[in-house]
Each structure stands twice: as structure tokens, then as C-alpha cells.
Structure 1
Amino acid sequence: MYLWWSLLMIIKCVLAHNTPSSPPMLIWGIDIPQPESIFRYMKTFDLVRLLRPIQKDYMIVVYLASELTAKDINCPSCFPAMSQILPVVYFSQVEKPLRALNHLSRGSLKPGLTWHSLPMDGSEIDLEKEIRCQIGSIHGFNFGDRNMQAHDATIAAVLEVLKSCHIIHIYTALEEEATALRRRRVYSMSSLRHSHTDNINVIFTGDVGLKADPTNLTILRHELAIVGVQKIIQAKEIKLGHVVRYNRTYVKLKTGNDSLQMGLVGVQTVKKGFVLALKTDMGHMLIECLPVGGSWFITRIVFNTNMTFYPREMTVFSFQHSLCCQSVTAYSDEGWRVTLYSFHLDVMRKSSDSGYNPEYVPKPCWHCDKYISSVLSQSIFALAILFLVLCVGLIMLWDIGRNRFVQNVNDPDLHIKTDT
């Protein structure tokens, strides 16, 4: 039973991880049935079945932004021209719309989507020569950005050129916004993780950390160290019965000459350990690092002089590397936690190196990805104990009934009658 349940959970997790990109969609120019709910999810071939019967009577023009969310579509001021056109149908989630349109174009008069490129220098194009009325054909404009007001002007210009043509305008995106898609995938994974406990209601309130983006890092420099952080979040765990909530606070780093300070455990060098002092809008954050076996070890984090946080995972990196972590989380005894996202740390051990030197090349990254988490290691240990107990039990069952007494040489053979 446990094996089947584990297999089912693995399949669900794989499916949740492969949650497809589903951007929103607007359709102008035709009266089609409205979705039963704005939260209805439309699959790829549902869109094909919706548009295929009406394709022979209309020309279809598709406009693709780079990324869109439902919040972008729900913006009347972003579409001053197209908001005046009725009827309009809104779909909040459409699975891979470009794939559906490619499939639909196979049955059109001119196979494939006819793409029209926009000038990169911002100059205007002659739409009358670029696009002509042709019932049953499919044309596309790939804007490549999220400037919705410029998109609205282009759609209005195309509508003016093809005002005498039976035409359907479809506005969507190549992909769903990356942040929204990541949030849906995390929510899907968390709901699967807790679906087997109906009596426990755990509420996840948001930020799970983003992958490192060098353009968003805040870089702090010191003579002996360079620190890069994307963001810092302090959270308080609040338990109300079976409900778990997290009260999150974004900690803003201050930038300036004294934004990063460094204290040494030794007299003049960092060989015996050091303490980083990051200046934030809520006070100073102290990060203590000590040398252990040829590596640096982050022992604790002190925030605002009154809360001490201890990492549960051993965050270490060698002297010849710089630390590159997607996230570093430390916990306090009072239920608080602090997380540093996209945390980078490079320590200068040579007297010739300086963190202020613009030509300094950081040492190679020491990634702190968790290949074996504490939960996984405990599970492996428990399975090893169970396997050992099973082996001992099988050996004991196998030995039942065997005669272990050694016969004496002078004794007669067992079960043999003799005259003496």
C-alpha cells in the first residue's frame, strides 16, 4: 500500500512540475459563447475546436506579447481603442495558444501562420501592402515586449486597414509571466504535498525565492569582502490550531560607503574568522563565519542586536571559492526566520586582493545546493534500519528446524539400531 501511494505521489509531483504555460487571451470581432467562469482553464485543442468552425468565414489576426498576466488584460486604460469594440471574449488561461494556432493554420487556405515583422527602429510600416483581406487565412504580429498601449495602437491600425473584412482579432502572449507561472507551479506542488492530510490546513503566503539574477543583486564592497544579495525576508511563524501562517517583512539593504563593515576574530587577518555587518533599514545584520577544516562555516546570524538565528543546514565553502547560494535561511528559538536570497560572498585572504578593486575577478563559485536534505537522510537511515531488521528476521526463519548439535565420534549414528 505504501509503495503504491509513493508511486502515485511521484506521478502527481511530476505532473505538477510540468504545469504548462497558460497566458490570458482576448478575442474581438465575433460573438462566441462566454466561458462559464473567468477562472476556467482552456486546453490547447479546446481552442482549436472553438475556432475551426468559424475559420472559413473569417480572417484571423493574432497579436503576441512577450508575457502577459490576467492583471495586464484587466486594464481598460491600456486598450483605449480596442476597449470600444464589441463583442469581446476573455479567457483567463489558455494552454499554449501558439501551438493551437499553428494546428489551426494547417487547415487554412495558406498553410502556416503568416508573420509580419515590426521595424526595430520604431518607424511605421505600410499595413495596406503588408496585410490584405483573405478569408480563412491566419496572420500574426509578434511584438516581443509588454508595451500594451503600443500594441493597442497597432491593433487599431490593422482594424482600420481591414475594416471592410470579416476579421477576428486575438490578443495573447507567447508565454505566461514567469513569476505567475512559478507561483502556480509552487502552489500546485504545495497542494499535492498536503493533500493527504485533510485535517491540517496549511496556508502558504507567497515568496519562495527566485533564481539568481545578476541584474537584481545589491552589491556591497569592503576591503576584505564582497557581498551580493537579491533580497532579504524576515518571517514570523504563527500557528492558530492547525493553521500555519507566516508574517513576512522585506528587509531593505542600505547602500553607501559604510553599508558593509567587517570585524575580525584575529588581530589583522581573516584566518581566524570574521563577522560581516550589513546595514539595513531595520538595523544591522551580523553574519558570523568561522574557519572549520579548511573551509568557512556560517555559524549564526544576529539581526538588530536582539535576535539570533542559527542555520539548520551546514553552509560551508572552501577558502579557494566564493559562496553562491540560491537562499540561506536561519531560524531563531522564538519562531522567527530570516532568508537571504541569491546570497554571494567572496572573502579576500591575500593581502594583494581588495574588494574595492574594479578589476578583481571573484573566485569560482561554491554552490550550496542541497543534494541530500535532512529529511531525505533521515528517511534513508530509517529504511536501512528496517532493511536490517527484515534481513535478521529472514535469517531466523531460515534457521528454524535445523539441528545445531554436533555428534560425538564415539556415539552411534542417529536413528540406527545396534546390538550393543
Structure 2
Amino acid sequence: MQTHFVRMLVLFVLVNAVHCGPVLIWHSKVESKSVFPRISQHEFINEIKTLLETKMVAAFLYKRLSLKSFRCESCFPFLSQQTPAFFYANVERAEKALLTLNVTAHLKASNDGNLNAPLSCKVGTLYTISLNVLSRSSNPLRSCDDVIKAITQASGCADVAYMFLGTQGETVEPIGHLHQHNQLSFYFTEFQLQTADDVETIQLQSMNVSGMDPILTVEFQANNTNASLTFSVLLSNGYFEIKSFKYNDTQYYVTDLYAPQTSSYSCGKISLHKDKETIILRRVQMQYDKDKRVGDFRFKDAWTCEAFTSPAIISALFVTVILLTALFVGIGMLMSVQPPTKYESPGGRNLYIHVRD
């Protein structure tokens, strides 16, 4: 059984998908899945719901678990002996799928295999057990196997299904928001307020545009605070420009935030500082339409905030110039090599060159 388990897991290492992770399920029967196709969140959630109808489910989470982790044959002596066991190699955001269900409790395990709260062994309950504290041990994977063994044996639950899954690479890009009012379109994915102690994500909504050419005033209301984000758009000489943002009575000044009216403005991250506070706008794209929008909306060609003279580009140009200089000098030296005009006669007198000071 152990040899078969290791061979199957080595095969699964060949599979690698973005935002997917491995899930090992034992002590219960689930539907077998093919190795290579990605298992969607919907499929995985349906499997968990089926288990919850007759069993308690306990999911062990370890953030550094990946497909490559199972190449270690000696790391999982306990898990390799479990039967029946099912291995899903490519589950799409498995931890996120668990969180969509009604989780009874989020527990943490200690190095000696104790939980901060007991398991109730009640059918229909779902527990997540974090093993991230074991990342500091000398052999984290072996420690995970030992702690899982200690917890499962101490629980004494009969009708239970266990899972072991990884959470590495589970970051998800926030959903963007497109706001449009009159002739202005503004898109962003996230707005944050960063202080010395915390980073708070602010939800902006209800964009309102007032004023007339050449100055438009834009205001966003924040739904989780009483503050608002406002800025002015200056229309001049075929360009639109923003010079400052105002949030929570604090003015944040910005430079080089402009674009032609025939293009849109795009920037991956706008970060503005004032005293000990910072406001951050991510994935920003805005556009001013001189004429009324008709049909399906699409942003015009982007005028990006990445300047050509960025530090990375300057460094690359500098290194390129040095390498080209060395190359040309070397080629010139090779081209200047010439054969000697005189040769010494083997049977004659040696050639002496007298040098006078």
C-alpha cells in the first residue's frame, strides 16, 4: 500500500496549475477524480457537502504544502498507511471553497499535537485546523504527519472525514469596479488606507461628477466610513490631469497623473503619502470622453504611469553600454593585429635591436 501511495504521488508532481493545490482525503469515500484536469471549486464543494450529510469533516491546513511535498517518501509514514485514501492533485482554491461553507470553528494545532479547542464529533460539523506553527520545525512535513496522527487518534471520532490540503498561492486578485458618470469613466480594484499600525481596505461607491469644463470634481462615498474620496480633473490643451486627492480631510498631492483626451490613463498602483498615512489605489484606469459614450464601453489605448526613464531601464541601458564598449574595443584590438615584417634566419645570426635612451 505504501509503495503504491508513493508512486501515485510522484506522478501527481508532474501536474502544476495556477491557484490549484493538492488535497488528500482519507477515512471516507469520495468520488475519484482524474489526475490532470483541474477540479473546480464547485465540484470540490459538492464533495464536501456530501460528506457533511453523514460525517464530521476536519480539514488540516498547511500553507507550504504543495505537490512537490509528496515526493518525500519518509515524510508521511502515517498518511501513507491510511485507507481508503483519495488524492486530488489540482483543486482550485481549496481553502476558499471550505470558507464558503458553514465552518463550525477554525482551530490551531500546537507542536505537541494539541488543539486550542476540542472536536465535537457531531455529524454535519466542519473544522479547519491550522498547522502553520509547524513551519518552524526542522522537518515540517514529518511534523505535520506526527501532529495529524496525534489529533486523529485522540479525537476518537467514528463518523469523520479527514483532509490535508495546502494554501500556498491562494492569493486572489480583487474584483475591479467600473464607475461611470457623465463623460468620466474610472476603474480600480482596491482602495486602502495605510497607517503606522494597520492597513484598512475602504469600499468606495456612488461616484458623482460635478462641475463643467475645464474643471470637473469627482467624489466617491465610502460605505464603511463617513469619509469620502474627492479629486478634481483639469481639462486643458487636449489633456486631462489630476493634481491631488482628498480623503478624510487630508490632501494628498500627486504629479504626472495626466493623459491625452484621446487616450486613457492607466497605472498599476498609485501610492500617496502624507505624514504617517498613505492612501493606495490599485489597478487604476480612467478616461475622459469628449463626446457622449455610445454602444459597448471600452477603454481607449492606455497612457501608462511607467516612465521610460525608470531605474530598471536606466540600469539596463548603462550595463548595455558598458558591454558594447568592451565588445567594440575587443574587436578593434583583434583587427589591429599584424604579422611581423622580418623573420630570424635559422642558420644565420640572431637579430638584435638596440635601444637608446
- TM-score w.r.t. the length of structure 2 is 0.46
- TM-score w.r.t. the length of structure 1 is 0.40
